[in-house]
Structure 1
């Protein structure tokens, strides 16, 4: 596995089992596709620790927010059919419950394009899950906030189109919209629009999971490897899918084939052109791009209690990888795996930064010493024998290697420390970036 940055000529690679052990991850399943076909699948660890059931390619995981990409493509399919439009007020299509008018909707309305791209003006909160013996709210009850729903009624809280706020309730509105215009239950509609054309035979939005998949379900685990009880996710479109990496890989490669070959299995070329245009506008995926590359990566992350997952695809290379874990702690591992794929297949993006050691005297390093605080965590640095050291909370010290005028790397774990100055040129913050790319800022005390 490849970190986001490392010191040149230092051993930086780790194996998947090694990282799984370090991060206490029960199981991982991976599928890679290349030019319209599943190229390889890999599985590691256990879907259930109690009975030592191993993960297989058919093990079903909760896909959490990867549900949103599937939902978005289904809605865009309906746009292609002329059943929906992207830019009209969705109240034109909704039956029964409609988006409540308020001061935010006077001049701008909620549209499908805004819902898909998280700019419709809805809130960010995560909706509630339920135990199997509890009554499950209908989609209308979720939107109105009526029992058995325990969440607030869904309403617009900012002017539609004004800003992007990632919204789970917004995707519940899309769920309602798809049911109303197709006159079908959500899973039945998605089966017809997406699952069947993509040959996704191990996927379902049904709550509870249908019998033919329930025997292959992974158990979700906490960071401490404690099992979570099985729960139902009534927010189907936002996070309710149960699926496999292979099924999601089939979904992604179908979207790619529609784009490159005009196969129209689920989407037209004109719709995919809109999805993959080099703009910040999201139509079901986040995008990674720049002016220097002809390629674009499209991606989505997901997490529910006990499950984390990630999918990323290179548009021009016609390649992609889907990674699913039954762990709260899978994000770092997945970023390592995705970066290793990018390196192995020479993608333009997700490539690691390789640092060269530079010379720096101890006097110059003195400006970076002291304590820096972020939340309840304190980082401390000192110079000893002409080298900057990081002092851990356990009083152990680690030598830091200078790689730029204000950057140092801890070569044993590839943590990068970047010291940031204020307008007066005085060091005010240190930004700590872990080997998986996640960073935090700490204020000098």
Structure 2
């Protein structure tokens, strides 16, 4: 910034001096964080959380100016044998593996061996999922899978452990499911999609996925204590939840969650990416390629809940950004937060299910130090101008009626009907009046008691058509929440014959509260087909969107058990339900 000092008055000079003072204060506020204080508060934070959250073992590191300024282990890697958790303790990093898979794809993209903008089918000819009208597998690009916008369902649990399955089985399992949405329409986190990408890496590179990662990422970064379950790594941590030790669960899905690392190696990965981003000499990726990976890729996706790069979630505002990924596998948890422009990073690993929240909070609490907020993770609203509640408009009954129906969320649904000049929304016994501000925008008034109405002045509800789906979206400030799309009527006669309780049998998940017990099919008074899915640790009320006489989708995106193909069949006189590869019968 330059200033012209000609013809400056005394008053102008005073203003200029005041401006200099403000600039100095602002610059001081932006100086690098006080490292000693940061280390002290970090150690205190984890010492307290180890006790309050009943965490058995945890390790963490902070990188500032490209250097590890602090790393430390807390608690036990093996509580029963009193083996301490240290930076040398190996932990499954879970879904952070996806960043390695994305990096491998971008290496192959650099080399011209694939093009991430080309269809997945070009590199995985065996990809042949079931399709519905208006949804085409040929429109699913590698980039769509990398950004979780492909419409491929989130998981398939059949043979999901390494003993009974392998990642090369996943294309065949996906072919038994329906694509959920047209590519590029909905952000739906998909482990299954990333396992397809692992198969792409195998097909294109002519190397097994695990071998490719070892040779082209782990070895160049000298991550000699990292690898996969089949590598028999030393110093592996035990895993814990609810105060108990659990058997290690080795994932079939090695391309979406199979990498193990210790904290020392994990810092090598983080610093390696920071160096590559800055254009420093490295053997893993070009700076321009990493800049592409760390740029916003999903701004045009209409139904989305997070900003994303290629293989990463993004916190991004007008000034700066960070990339983030979390991992969870068999109760182990890991978090990685990079600030590429600031040359900084934060890493947390824990062997305890209850440690995940403390790890995430630690990372997110550091966002303001680098000019970011949690809200920078969320996409800009797509619903446009918010109208003032003082201008209620009158609509015809026909205009109101087009919004009537049931809209399914992941664990509930809302039924909307016409009530005189307004719409009435009923969900879980709560009634909300929606007063029209335009044909598609409504102000909510919540009924309290018999006749009291409370205006929710900070909220709006929007109805919008997206590629043939009629969506209901809640707007609160600059945040939007997808309430699902309008469900089609069901054939009561057909589904009435299938209602009832189905018990799980056959292949079972092998760990903790993910084990399944039963699924109960029922029809509500609003004529919504529902299933009550019970695991060892939860009960989930899930609306179903019927595809045909033998298939439905579990509704809701990016949450719990939403976004799965549910298949109905009969065998030897028994009625069967398949939910994401888990079978139930009655």
TM-score (norm 1): 0.68
Pairing 1:323–2:383 present: no
Are residue 270 (structure 1) and residue 299 (structure 2) matched? no
Residue aligning to 1:216: 235
Contact 1:32 1:320 in 2 (8 A): yes
Say whether the 8 Å CA contact 1:246–1:322 is kept in structure 2. no
Larger radius of gyration: 2
Structure 1 residue 34 corresponds to structure 2 residue 64: yes
- 2:258 is matched with 240
Work out which of the residue numbers 230, 235, 259 in structure 1 matches 2:277.
259
**Cα deviation 1:131-183 (Å, max 9, x = unaligned):** 67xx43233323213xxxxx984553221122110000000100110111111
- C-alpha separation in 1, matches of 2:445 and 2:334: 36
Task: Compute the RMSD of aligned alpha carbons.
Answer: 3.0
Q: Which has the higher contact order (CA 8 A, sep 6+)?
A: 1
1:305 maps onto 2:335 in alignment: no
How far apart are the structure 2 equivalents of 1:312 and 1:44?
Answer: 20
- Counterpart of 1:333? 358
| CA–CA distance in structure 1, aligned partners of residues 334 and 356 of structure 2 | 8
2:63 partner SS: strand
Q: Which of residues 196, 200, 206 in structure 2 aligns to 1:177? A: 200
Q: Deviations over 1:300-354 (max 9, x none)?
A: 11112221111101121100011010011122211342245456xx3112599xx
Quick one: structure 1 residues 299 and 281, their matched pair in 2 at CA, closer, same or farther if it must change by over 3 Å?
Answer: closer
Residue 339 of structure 2 corresponds to 314
Matched, 1:289 2:307: no
1:368 maps to none
What's the counterpart of residue 108 of structure 2?
Answer: 78
Question: In structure 2, the residue corresponding to 1:287 is in which secondary structure?
Answer: strand
What CA distance in whole angstroms lies between the structure 2 residues aligned with 1:275 and 1:56? 31
- Residues 114 and 160, structure 1, Cα contact 8 Å, conserved in 2: yes
Q: Is the 8 A contact 1:308 1:330 kept in 2?
A: yes
For the residue of structure 2 that corresponds to 1:221, the secondary structure is strand
Query: Take 2:196 and 2:310, find their aligned partners in 1: how far apart are those partners?
Result: 16
Per the alignment, residue 111 of structure 1 pairs with 141
1:427 to partner: Cα distance: 6.7
Classify 1:422/1:154 alpha carbon distance in 2 versus 1 (closer, same or farther; 3 Å).
same
TM-superposition CA deviations, 1:368-422 (whole Å, max 9, x none): xxxxxxx9xxxxxxxxxxxxxxxxxxxxxxxxxxxxxxxxxxxxxxxxxxxx985
**Matched-pair contact (CA < 8 Å) for 1:36–1:257:** yes
Superimposed CA distance per residue, residues 34-85 of structure 1 (whole angstroms, 9 cap, x where no aligned partner): 3333332111000111111111111010111111111111111111111110
CA shift for structure 1 position 186? 1.2
- Map of 1:31-180 to 2, 5 A cutoff? 31-94=61-124, 97-100=126-129, 102-103=131-132, 105-106=135-136, 109-125=139-155, 127=157, 135-145=163-173, 153=176, 156-180=179-203
Indicate if the aligned counterparts of 1:129 and 1:231 stay in contact, CA closer than 8 A: no
The answer to whether structure 1 residue 193 and structure 2 residue 209 are counterparts is no
TM-score normalized by the length of structure 2? 0.53
Q: What is the rounded CA distance, in whole Å, between the counterparts of 1:169 and 1:131 in structure 2? A: 14
More strand by share: 2
Please list the CA deviations of residues 79-100 of structure 1 after superposition, one character each: whole Å capped at 9, or x if unmatched. 11111101111222225x2243
Would the alpha carbon gap of residues 128 and 253 (structure 1) be closer, same or farther in structure 2, given more than 3 Å must change?
Answer: farther
For structure 1, which runs of at least 5 residues remain unmatched after alignment? 1-10, 146-150, 353-374, 376-419, 430-445
* Contact 1:219 1:306 (C-alpha < 8 Å) held by counterparts: no
User: Aligned residues, how many?
Assistant: 336
The answer (yes or no) to whether the contact 2:279–2:286 under 8 Å persists in 1 is no
Q: Secondary structure at the match of 1:227?
A: strand
Give me the whole-angstrom Cα distance separating, in 2, the residues matched to 1:234 and 1:131: 5
- 5+ residue gaps, structure 2: 1-40, 300-306, 376-410, 412-443, 448-452, 459-586
Q: Distance in 1 between matches of 2:91 and 2:182?
A: 36
Q: Deviations over 1:215-236 (max 9, x none)?
A: 31111111x2211112211100
